[in-house]
Amino acid sequence: MLSEKVLSREQIDEAIERLAARLNAELAGREAVFVCVLKGAVYFFTELTSRLTTSVVIDFIQVSSYGATTESSGTVTLVKDLTVDISGKDVYVVEDIVDTGLTLADVIALLGARHPRSVQVVTLLSKPSRRRKEVPLDHVGIEIPDRFVVGFGLDFAEHFRNLPEIWEYVPQEEA
């Protein structure tokens, strides 16, 4: 069940505004490809990229995630690949949340093998206390404590992605 609102829409918008301003300052002259990690990052991705003032290429990748639990399995499989060639390009991987870091580490390795010029990570949320694999986070929106959150793209068993704010979700048996 939803237990408590963790981030309001205003707080989310402020974080995205801040990230976009920083990215706009460094994107000039770059051949950037923004990669949305489906499905969780999709709301963040469209809000972020629509605030960029230079033209960037966008693409989508999907890897397997939690399924219907709140714990990462630590092994990801590629569900949907990119359609553009990223060799020689500055790639920005756009994530909803970095928790253990295991998913992102695999995504970075996968994309890095395709010889991009650089790979950077943009994440809306980060739970640093849960990290099991150190991954370079170049652009972090908001750090949150160790709580399982839903809304603004984030799901529990595919539900709640469409909520405009971010809420803590507590599985029924723990509530």
Interface positions with ligand 5GP (CB under 6 A)? 40, 65-66, 72, 95-104, 148-150, 154-156
Q: Minimum distance from CB of 40 to ligand 5GP (Å)?
A: 4
CB of 89 to ligand 5GP, least distance (A): 22
CA-CA-CA-CA dihedral for 146, 3, 161, 42, to nearest 10: -40
Q: Strands 166-169, 149-150: parallel, antiparallel or unpaired by DSSP?
A: antiparallel
Residue closer to ligand 5GP, measured from CB, 55 or 172: 172
34: exposed, middle or buried (Cβ count in 10 Å: 0-12, 13-18, 19+): buried
Nearer to ligand 5GP, 114 or 147 (CB): 147
Sort 25 into a burial class: Cβ within 10 Å, 0-12 / 13-18 / 19+: exposed
Is 155 in the active site? no
- Contact criterion met (CB below 8 Å) for 27 and 20: no
Looking at the Cβ atoms of 116 and 153, the one nearer to ligand 5GP is 153
The least distance separating ligand 5GP from the CB of residue 67, rounded to whole angstroms, comes to: 11
Judged by CB, which is closer to ligand 5GP: 47, or 155? 155
Residues composing the chain: 175
CB of 5 to ligand 5GP, least distance (A): 14
Active-site position among 96, 99, 106, 155: 99
Residues designated catalytic? 99
